Structure 1
Amino acid sequence: MSPDRAVLERALERGEQEGGNVEFKERLSKDVHLADGRRESLAAQLRHRVLSGDGEAMYVVGVTDDGGLAGIEPDVFSETMDVLSLLAEEAGAHIENVQTWGVSDSGVHRGTTEDAEATRGIVGVAEIREGGVLETDDEHIVVGTAGHVDHGKSTLVGSLVTGQADDGDGATRGYLDVKPHEVERGLSADLSYAVYGFNDDGPVHMNNPHRKQDRARIVTESDRLVSFVDTVGHEPWLRTTIRGLVGQKLDYGLLTVAADDGPTKTTREHLGVLLATDLPTMVVLTKKDIVDEERLEEVEREVERLLRDVGKTPLRVDRHGVDAAVEEISDTVVPILTTSSVTMDGLDTLDELFERLPKTAGTEGDFRMYIDRTYSVTGVGAVASGTIMSGEVEAGDELLLGPMPDGSWREVEARSIEMHYHRVDEAKAGRIVGIALKGVAENEIERGMALVPRESDPATVREFEAEVMVLNHPTRIGEGYEPVVHLETISEASVFTPEEGRLLPGDKGRTRVRFKFKPYMVEEGQRFVFREGQSKGVGTVTNVYRE
């Protein structure tokens, strides 16, 4: 969070005015402000503020009626936001964005929750917009991208979500590279996320993907959403790429191959991970503007041979059309498209494909989410981010978080939910969300932990059996082999004990797998990738040993 202090100062300067869109509140509580008719009157007041601001209102929280900086405790602020969200919903509006500051004797300052607790509390500004809380649809698809470094993967995604042509130097890639050293070097070093959508008028593009409000606008204006999990193309970060492809609830994979370079060793590794997880995948040839037709045809043939070598059937979309690609894409048929982010050639075909592709990831079952990222927000506390694997979650749900390092599970509450910076009341499987959790500190949450309903009986597992296939190994896998296992968002050193004593490259067999350092939630049927040096393979969990 990067709160702009000018937002607070402008709101305080304008103050509460009759017919204005600014409202001051010190605090709101469920017991007082949602009872005895107060809810209706406060919702009407909020509606008046929104209409007075032509669809936008600003609520300044943690201040007195005259705009004095009172400051309130983080728990009180969180409850105030919950009440305000309910009032906004009743008034046909929603909370678009919240910024917070710590309050001390010297004024306001940025800071973490811990910093704020050491002072008088916090003050915040909630931006409220007309329109109901987002209704998520079941056609929201999630696409995982992969490809060798400098093969135009992030640039392609940047051009798709903005509808803007690249300048030839990766300008649109900058919409996804979120860390300063990534922008400086032109390399992605972690997973990035992007979204665009479709409505009756066609694609709904972003003007500036770095602005929270722009992402929220896409979500509200679109009838169908397409989210991208953009992975890492550089060889040293293969582990992060595997995490992006295995640890997300993906519907499709997209592999880029630059027309000037052709398939590389990294291309083959990324394709192997995509196809080994049975993910329907497409191959997109990029940079067609810098090669001639002869070279483009040569690379297309190379890609076709690569696919046939791994038992897949290539389907050229320029020959067979989008109808055939939508109908045939599967774990055995791989569409191939050619594009240029500079001339925008072929991106309209990708748009049509993404608008029509059906959702593939299942949504049945109880709520389950593996945590990929954590962060702390002033006034909200610990936030766990990840992709919902099954079921759905609502704000206020009682959940279990874990397993903790000692194998126990922590009781927590879902305080609030955000999807693409848009606050929602509930979210379903396949959505990439951030869930604010009550009952745990941010430093106690780790990647690989899971969130499940409190009434469930999650499996705490340190050891399991699996059916595995060795994709690549310089010699053989024997007892005591120690690769890193990537299962959902789990990345953990493990020890293999093959049933037959050893496994050779290309072999399929059974093995026992034991996490070296701590347990995780593991279930039968889950697929995983393992790697160690040049050794790589895939597996499926067949039996678990609960602790």
Structure 2
Amino acid sequence: MASIFTYEPDLPRVASPWITPTDSPKPSTPQPKDPATASKFLSSDQLSDYGVTKLEAEPQEGPTEYKLHLLLRPRRNYSSSSTSSLVSGSQQRRQQSASQASRDSPVLAPSNQSRQNRLEQLTTQLLWRLQQSAPYHASATSDLVLPKLPEAASSLQTPSRPGKLLAGLEESRGALYEIGVSDDGTFVGLTKDEMDESLTNLRAMAASLGCNVEVVRMVVVGDCEWQESMSGVDATANSSKGDRLGKRPFSTFDGQKASLRQHAKLWVAEALVTPDLSSRKKPQVPISSPSATRAEALHLGQSPGFPEQTPLEAHKATEQLRITLTGPTTSGKSSLLGTLSTATLDNGRGKSRLSLLKHRHEIASGVTSSVAQELLGYKEDEIINYAYGNVSSWTDIHASAEDGRLVFVSDSAGHPRYRRTTVRGLVGWAPHWTALCVAADDCENAPSGAGGTSSAQEILGTAGAGIDLANAHLELCLKLDKPLAIVITKLDLASKTSLRQILSKILTAVKAVGRIPSIVPPDQNKVVLESDLATIPQTDNDTIQKIVDQMSKSDGLTSIVPIIMTSAARGTGIRSMHTLLSKLPIPSTPTSHDFVGPVLNPEQPACLFHIEDIFGVPASHEPLASKGVSSVDSGVVIAGHLRFGRLSVGDTVVAGPFPAESDEDESPPNKSGARSSPSSFGASLSHPSSNELARIASRNLVSASITKGEWYHAHIVSLRNLRLPVHSLEAGQVGTLGIVFNLLEEELSNSVFERSPPTAPRVRKGMVVAIPSRHMVETGHTLQAASGFSGSFEDGDINSVTPGSLVVVYIASIRASARVLRVTPHDDHESVARLTEEMDDVFSLDSAVEKEEPEPLIFGSDGVTDLTFEFITNREWIELGSQILVMPGGGHGLYHGSERGEKGVAGLEGFVGRVIEVAD
């Protein structure tokens, strides 16, 4: 199997070899790039203006290609050429001295088949050069449309517009073609008609891949001469034709034949091939405006001086399902996902999961500590993973599963020590379904063989005695009230007694919350080969379809819980698991008013993107280094899910909330980037003092109307949906955004020291990227960050949370530390505006400890209780009506490590509610 890690973080630059010629001395210090000088070079056609006589040799890899010509026919024979003596290592034959070959041995025209073969080879070579400047290299070429050579025409015709952009080329930085140059960098040159024909062929090849061609420079490198024999009737006509081609004809008559001697200049061209992005939505920037520079036009995908082209036909999107694997440690989650994605059976020691592990300590310990994500594809009865055909990356899976289904699977940690990673996998990325993995041998009499499941006492020591980790995960999944499927793993290690106990425990918990369990009959095949995991059997298809039909007839997707039994070692149930993933219903597309109606929540943005992860790669790249000064990268690549709306490349967005600008009397921010992490609560790190909490909280209580620097304007420069570069991101999809902040340039000072360029703000997880609604723009309103909020809970155990206690809250992509301000019955809920007046009294933790008294039980109407929270470290943007998960953050949990370096472990006990009010 090919390597699945095909991302190239350090791509070769698409730099013109004209910048650093071999015979030109390289300056020891960088020279300033004068736009006027660059413009002169781009418009000049004289080689002397460049001071170059030869280019560097053609690199074997990279986005630069040297071609003597791109003709589909042999070149003419020249009697003399000023560059012929310099040709070496090329297909250009030495010119014959007597040069009667044009009359004695005419060159036969190649057949149409040989010309078509050369055209296909040239197009494939162009594709390879374009992929050299793309972060992801796709090996699938199922949608490659090669240009067809017309039967009667001697050359191709330039198409009116590029065709469909080939998958994987959306983020290619382009390719440079040096035409008329040999492989060692020697200038050979082409006549004007040959150069025009070569550029026409290049445009046709590029159009078949969905790309544009821009001629960067055309330079005269020499002269040539050749003789043509023709009848006297055509001599006069050819004379005028020679003038049009830039040739100087000299005729000598011999009887009825005329020997026509032609002179012409030899040209070398540099052409830039870039993906056609005109179908992406872009802001209208008038090119004639002085503020609209050439770089801005290129960044928006426009051609300077030309109108925007008609958008391409919208590409039919493949349906996408997101599912999260959760469960206790050693329950076989990673091994199951490894078998699903690679069709490799496990050996009981983690063979199938090796491709998923990110860190060395995960391989050594066998314990997953991070979130691993994989992509599966389904089309009809075919399973598309890394064992399917020529698939080596997610881009190949996209291409192979077109018009089918894509399943985005996240594997989360299961050890109690990594509770925050476990909960992020359940709450973050907005999964459509949750798959709880429970080992079939997870009981007291579990076997001790290879791959056996560890008990809680073996994992946690004496503190884990009597704790059921599988039941804790099951209770949390049921509290979140999301579509749930239960996967019983390690069926090969289970006895009938242990399997009966596990099923009894699961069925009891599922029925207790009013859900209906539906057990999928286990696979009757005792032996399943890896080759059998390529397709979905019809029997499994019919069985799963019956369960899906029951879901469609029930009240919702949460009413029925499918239960499936698998074994990653023997392959039992793996095909049934594939069938389940290919058939599970997908919820409807989310909108901005799913949680609360427009009357209660009128200030919703038009588009909302939750940030789940940040990557340290550049957000944008200069397509050609010789085209201008490259600015300081003020962008960042972020990952997350699009809650609602639609994002496209070129959209102007706002990102935040960032820490507000502090007053002069406050302490300066930490320039090193270190900050108090919400994860410090519940871990072995020391808690901040009450004075520190009060100071941080009072800073967060600044009114949103006077805060500055909370929201930054930016524009989107790249988009990926499940690693596939796309034109736009639709509601409900996950992907990555490359955004560049619109930073204001500071005024130049008169100091001798150069002022440092403005730096981009630091993005963190939990922030949002949004497009303000039309109403917000017209009224001048902006997004309001929240310093606190109120939530409504139906769980009666929420009364164990007392005012002043520290908790960790999870809302969408937010994971933040908060302090409980008030606990009130639902009927007596007070507004947050009035509660903020009493926050000073609540902040005094020392006095609150002194007056500590037993809190009476508080119950609202129908057992509903409202809690008011206040964020400790940062202000957050919260959507009214969104789900909230509150977990204890200040207690010892299961146990608190007392030794140096030992981490405390907290349980999965939490309370689930809804946000009913937000405090600015």
Structure 2 residue 388 is matched with structure 1 residue 388: no
Identify the range of structure 1 (262-271 vs 444-453) with the bigger mean alpha-carbon deviation: 262-271
Q: TM-score, normalised on structure 1?
A: 0.76
Structure 2 residue 70 is matched with structure 1 residue 11: no
Superposed CA deviations along residues 508-530 of structure 1, whole A, max 9, x for unmatched, are 41111221222111122100111
Identify the range of structure 1 (514-523 vs 441-450) with the bigger mean alpha-carbon deviation: 441-450
Report the 3-state secondary structure (helix = DSSP H, G, I; strand = E; otherwise coil) of the residue aligned with 1:173.
Answer: coil
The letter for the 2-side match of 1:52 is: T
Q: 2:787 aligns with which of 462, 483, 489?
A: 462
Alpha-carbon offset, residue 190 of structure 1: 1.7
Structure 2 residue 344 is matched with structure 1 residue 164: yes
Structure 2 residue 734 is matched with structure 1 residue 429: no
Identify the range of structure 1 (423-432 vs 53-62) with the bigger mean alpha-carbon deviation: 53-62
The letter for the 2-side match of 1:184 is: A
Does structure 1 conserve the Cα–Cα contact (< 8 Å) formed by 2:653 and 2:770? yes
1:409 counterpart residue number: 711
Identify the range of structure 1 (398-407 vs 521-530) with the bigger mean alpha-carbon deviation: 398-407
> C-alpha distance in 1, partners of 2:384/2:132?
32
> C-alpha distance in 2, partners of 1:128/1:289?
51
Does structure 1 conserve the Cα–Cα contact (< 8 Å) formed by 2:638 and 2:738? yes
Alpha-carbon offset, residue 465 of structure 1: 1.6
1:399 counterpart residue number: 653
Alpha-carbon offset, residue 364 of structure 1: 2.4
Report the 3-state secondary structure (helix = DSSP H, G, I; strand = E; otherwise coil) of the residue aligned with 2:476.
Answer: helix
Stretches of structure 2 lacking an aligned partner (at least 5 in a row): 1-6, 15-58, 71-118, 135-160, 175-271, 277-311, 444-454, 456-466, 523-541, 552-556, 593-605, 621-634, 661-706, 743-758, 777-781, 826-854, 894-908
Alpha-carbon offset, residue 247 of structure 1: 1.8
Does structure 1 conserve the Cα–Cα contact (< 8 Å) formed by 2:12 and 2:132? no
Alpha-carbon offset, residue 163 of structure 1: 2.3
> C-alpha distance in 2, partners of 1:377/1:384?
10
Structure 2 residue 516 is matched with structure 1 residue 516: no
Alpha-carbon offset, residue 50 of structure 1: 7.0
Report the 3-state secondary structure (helix = DSSP H, G, I; strand = E; otherwise coil) of the residue aligned with 1:10.
Answer: coil
Superposed CA deviations along residues 282-338 of structure 1, whole A, max 9, x for unmatched, are 110000012234432332222212323444322112189423432345323211110
Alpha-carbon offset, residue 234 of structure 1: 0.7
The letter for the 1-side match of 2:733 is: R
Q: 1:447 aligns with which of 765, 779, 783?
A: 765
1:323-362 correspondence runs (5 A): 323-329=545-551, 330-360=557-587, 362=589
Superposed CA deviations along residues 463-497 of structure 1, whole A, max 9, x for unmatched, are 22211244867x82222122000111111111221
> C-alpha distance in 2, partners of 1:154/1:188?
8
Report the 3-state secondary structure (helix = DSSP H, G, I; strand = E; otherwise coil) of the residue aligned with 1:58.
Answer: helix
Alpha-carbon offset, residue 461 of structure 1: 1.2
> C-alpha distance in 2, partners of 1:510/1:362?
30
Does structure 1 conserve the Cα–Cα contact (< 8 Å) formed by 2:167 and 2:399? no
Structure 2 residue 306 is matched with structure 1 residue 52: no
Alpha-carbon offset, residue 184 of structure 1: 2.5
> C-alpha distance in 1, partners of 2:385/2:133?
33
Q: 1:268 aligns with which of 459, 471, 483?
A: 471
Identify the range of structure 1 (434-443 vs 483-492) with the bigger mean alpha-carbon deviation: 434-443
Alpha-carbon offset, residue 241 of structure 1: 1.2
Q: 1:477 aligns with which of 797, 801, 805?
A: 801
Alpha-carbon offset, residue 198 of structure 1: 0.9
Q: Return closer, same or farther for 1:504/1:228 CA change in 2, 3 Å cut-off.
A: farther
Structure 2 residue 616 is matched with structure 1 residue 376: yes
Does structure 2 conserve the Cα–Cα contact (< 8 Å) formed by 1:396 and 1:415? yes
1:218 counterpart residue number: 397
Q: Return closer, same or farther for 1:478/1:304 CA change in 2, 3 Å cut-off.
A: same
Q: Return closer, same or farther for 1:247/1:60 CA change in 2, 3 Å cut-off.
A: closer
Alpha-carbon offset, residue 51 of structure 1: 2.0
Over aligned residues, Cα RMSD in angstroms? 3.7
Does structure 2 conserve the Cα–Cα contact (< 8 Å) formed by 1:88 and 1:94? no
Alpha-carbon offset, residue 136 of structure 1: 6.4
Q: Return closer, same or farther for 1:472/1:342 CA change in 2, 3 Å cut-off.
A: farther
Q: Return closer, same or farther for 1:261/1:90 CA change in 2, 3 Å cut-off.
A: closer
2:317 counterpart residue number: 137
Structure 2 residue 823 is matched with structure 1 residue 498: yes
> C-alpha distance in 2, partners of 1:162/1:503?
53
Alpha-carbon offset, residue 435 of structure 1: 0.4
Alpha-carbon offset, residue 97 of structure 1: 6.7
Structure 2 residue 413 is matched with structure 1 residue 232: yes
1:536 counterpart residue number: 910
> C-alpha distance in 1, partners of 2:881/2:69?
59
> C-alpha distance in 1, partners of 2:490/2:484?
20
Q: TM-score, normalised on structure 2?
A: 0.47
Select the structure that is richer in strand.
1
Alpha-carbon offset, residue 387 of structure 1: 1.6
The letter for the 1-side match of 2:571 is: M
Identify the range of structure 1 (497-506 vs 297-306) with the bigger mean alpha-carbon deviation: 497-506
Rg larger for: 2
